[in-house]
Amino acid sequence: MKEAVEEDFPCLLLKSDLETTEIKWFNPYAKSFLGVEWTSEKKIIDIVSKASSIFYESYIKPILLANGEYLEVQITLLSGSGQRVPAVANITVSGHILYWAIYVAKERDKLYQELIEAKDQLEKKTEELTAVSRRDTLTPLLNRRAANDDVLKMISQSRRAFVPLSFLLLDIDFFKKINDAFGHEEGDRILIKLSHVLLEQVRETDVVARWGGEEFLMVLFNTDIKDIKLFSERLHNAISEIGLPSGKPLTASIGGTVLEKGDLAQPNLIAQQLLKADKALYEAKANKRAHTRIYDSVHGIVKI
């Protein structure tokens, strides 16, 4: 077996003075990498980046004095061409001399960056897939499952510090006739247009979703019956701006209810609130449509 010699080691081997950082000796690999001839004037701080030099004085040196060694410390070397190269150093102390074994970590650093990029891309893809899984297949609104999840969070927040939540169900008036008269493509256009109108009317703290077919759910945060009246008036006006091919305005009926503090103890809370809102919606559609009715625990179903 061939006896190992200095030229065989594929790393930088150095000896330096602990205090002055003067390089006392280096192997041929270090000479080739650094592109310098041996000289007592060369110092460790001359072959590492400014940041690594500061790191040496403030952190590496104190640890060496305390422990006698520092393993796998990351530094940045300056090659003979001035290129900054990531490296890992193992350093031991013997008397006033430091013994350095420095391994160029260019490929490891590259792999690390690739892993970070892959992780970022994976997280981005996961976010995109999550967003897609929460969105309705036709409109930009939440789907039923995502809306249910978000409303549960709103209820949980309301349990910690109560604020009223308003549940509104909206149904497009005569939507089947619209589909029959103008085709499903026109029906889809109306659903999409209405969805954008709803998004324009609600706040970021609210939940709006396509609940099924031509029915939509809105849950308004910190909103009581008086607020619903103002909101529904604006919404009916905005919906009427959506024109049908016949020239007539689009209309919709709305049924709603307000989650009160006493309701929080009920089981199946969302289902209970939606049942009340659905009863109010039924009354709105049975009475000339194009308006809002509210289920009130005291007065029953009232028009607003």
The two three-digit tokens of residue 301, written as one number: 């179903």
Give the C-alpha distances (Å, rounded to integers) separating 182 from 210, 243, 246, 249. Answer: 22, 13, 9, 14
Pair 218, 194: CB distance under 8 Å: no
214 is a catalytic site residue: yes
Pair 203, 251: CB distance under 8 Å: no
DSSP element (H, E) containing 271: helix 269-286
Instruction: Give the number of C-alpha atoms closer than 13 A to the C-alpha of residue 270, restricted to the C-beta side.
Output: 15
Output DSSP code: residue 249: B
Selected catalytic residue, list 214, 233, 241, 260: 214
The two three-digit tokens of residue 37, written as one number: 């001839």
Q: Which residues of 35-62 are buried (b: 16+ CB within 10 A; e: fewer)?
A: eeeeeeebebbebbbeebbebbeeebbe
Active-site amino acid positions: 214
